[in-house]
Amino acid sequence: MRYVQIFDSTLRDGEQSPGFSMTAKEKIKMALALELLGVDVIEAGFPAASPGDFESVSAIAGVLSDKCTVAALARLNKNDIDLAWKAVSNAKKPRLHVFIATSDIHLQYKLHISREELIDRISTFVAYARSFTDDIEFSAEDATRSDLEFLVTAYKAAVSAGASIINIPDTVGYAAPDDFVRIVKMIKEEDLLKNVPFSVHCHNDLGMAVANSLEAVRLGADQVECTVNGIGERAGNAALEEIVMNLKVRSAYYDTDTRVDTRQIIKTSKLLSMITGIKVQPNKAITGANAFAHEAGIHQHGVMENRATYEVMSPESVGLTENVIVLGKHSGRHAFEEKLQEMGFSLPKERFDTVFADFKLLADKKKVITDKDIEALLKNSISEIPKTYRLDRYIISSSNMLSNTCCIRLKKNGEPMPEGNAMGGGPIDAAFNAINNATGFELTLSEYKIEAVTGGADAQGAVSVRIKRGEAAYKGYGVDPNIIEASIKAYLNAINNMVFQLGEAAEAAR
């Protein structure tokens, strides 16, 4: 059985999706989780995109071991390649991933160059990239809408200039599996290309990303590019977990496997949701909440007799364990730490102390603490953003006859602030307005989501918000059995996120 390499682009292509931006610390956490998951290549980012992206790629390259390659993306120009190499050069196993579009529509309307000029650029700058490292991946953007003969010419130019692996991107999710058959067949007919490793990078605009990726694997692809939960531009990328589990469950058909530790899949998926604040759709394959749920009576009966009747893989094979634990206000640090380790989380002492203190407060309000409750507590601390502003106390008056008002007092760096007072269309709106009044920030709420973490009358409420200051947006998350307090925590978390990202500029531009 052969092994196909898993190239994870969660931190690059995935993060480019609206709403999925991450801080440098969050990207490092995610990169370490991907390394533990067992992916072969981590595309850490696009260093030329911004100073922040450059810094995060450099930081990731510096912390990962030699278990996986760290790739940095660059367009085919000197500045991009220089920045990409500078960012990734401290990795144990660095890769430069260079790309340029090859379809006529991109040549005419985006690049404004001829085919001949494109081939010259490929030859020049792939060779320039090769002067830094032997590990060069070349991607022909929009390959599946390119003229096939010209596409092969572009790949030959890249390989002649030093590319060590060529990538076939279905950039706009246009292709069907047969398109990959034609492309791969033409590539393998060329003496210069037939022994060169090839990769595929599929988008999901028509819902074909995983199917196309698997067809390429069946045709002999050496590497498949994907993201956790399938996040990415527009409709997303091929989902890592779906590709990996297809190869695992249908191993006899594909005769191909990966080195991914599938027991880490659910944990990695949940970490991404914690960081981004965006949940996986319930009916999502492998990682969705309903992936192993059975409601129909016939299905339930079959599963109780033998799970294989309606499940082609076990929940345990992807790391799904959902236990109700009996932890309460009398539980000690040791029991709580053991539970965290059982769930796959290891926290440094200062963060453990914070989460444990929050757990104790929650235990005073709830009789039974579940895994999901603990995940919600962890989500509050996952980004390690300093809590510049904290809630001290609040009073809310809400009625369908009188105005909704809020009086709130916050602490800034531990010191009480003057109270903020405001009215609003409802109690939560009044609370947010009062926070604006107390802090002096002119903020608008652009997104507000609420859900119950667990069932029952004592369920915690989880609130995700997105606030805007000018054109910039910042996300926040809060959890509490009191939904108003959860909302206040989420709003303050978003403000703290803003202050952390902007530094002194946040205070100066009130």
156, pLDDT greater than 70: yes
Q: What's the CA angle centered on 259, arms 258 and 263, to 5 degrees?
A: 100
Question: Which of the four pLDDT bands, split at 50, 70 and 90, describes residue 226?
Answer: very high
Asked if 432 contacts 457 with a C-beta cutoff of 8 angstroms, the reply is: no
User: Any idea where the domains of the chain sit in the sequence?
Assistant: 2-264, 324-381, 389-508
Question: Which of the four pLDDT bands, split at 50, 70 and 90, describes residue 277?
Answer: confident
pTM (predicted TM-score): 0.80
Same fold, 2-264 and 389-508: no
**Which residues, 6+ apart, have CB-to-CB distance to 121 below 8 Å?**
76, 100, 113
Question: Between these two residues, 348 and 101, which has the higher pLDDT value?
Answer: 101
Specify which of 301-315, 338-352, 361-375, 430-444 reaches the highest per-range mean pLDDT.
Answer: 430-444
The predicted-structure confidence for 425-447, as pLDDT tens digits, reads as follows 999 999 999 999 999 999 999 99
301, pLDDT greater than 70: no
The residue-averaged pLDDT of 231-243 equals 97
The predicted-structure confidence for 318-332, as pLDDT tens digits, reads as follows 988 755 456 766 677
347, pLDDT greater than 50: yes
Question: Which of the four pLDDT bands, split at 50, 70 and 90, describes residue 297?
Answer: low
Question: Between these two residues, 481 and 445, which has the higher pLDDT value?
Answer: 445
479, pLDDT greater than 60: yes
504, pLDDT greater than 50: yes
Please give the CATH superfamily to which domain 2-264 belongs.
Answer: Aldolase class I (3.20.20.70)
So what's the pLDDT on residue 324? 46
The predicted-structure confidence for 403-431, as pLDDT tens digits, reads as follows 999 999 999 999 999 999 999 999 999 99
The predicted-structure confidence for 124-133, as pLDDT tens digits, reads as follows 999 999 999 9
296, pLDDT greater than 70: no
**Over the chain, what is the mean pLDDT?**
90
457 CB-contact burial (10 Å; exposed 0-12 / middle 13-18 / buried 19+): exposed
Q: CA-to-CA distance for 243 and 259, rounded, in angstroms?
A: 12
Structurally, at CATH architecture level, domain 389-508 sits in 2-Layer Sandwich (3.30)
Rg of the chain over CA atoms, in angstroms?
25
Q: Which has the closest alpha carbon to 368: 416, 421, 328?
A: 328
The residue-averaged pLDDT of 288-300 equals 67
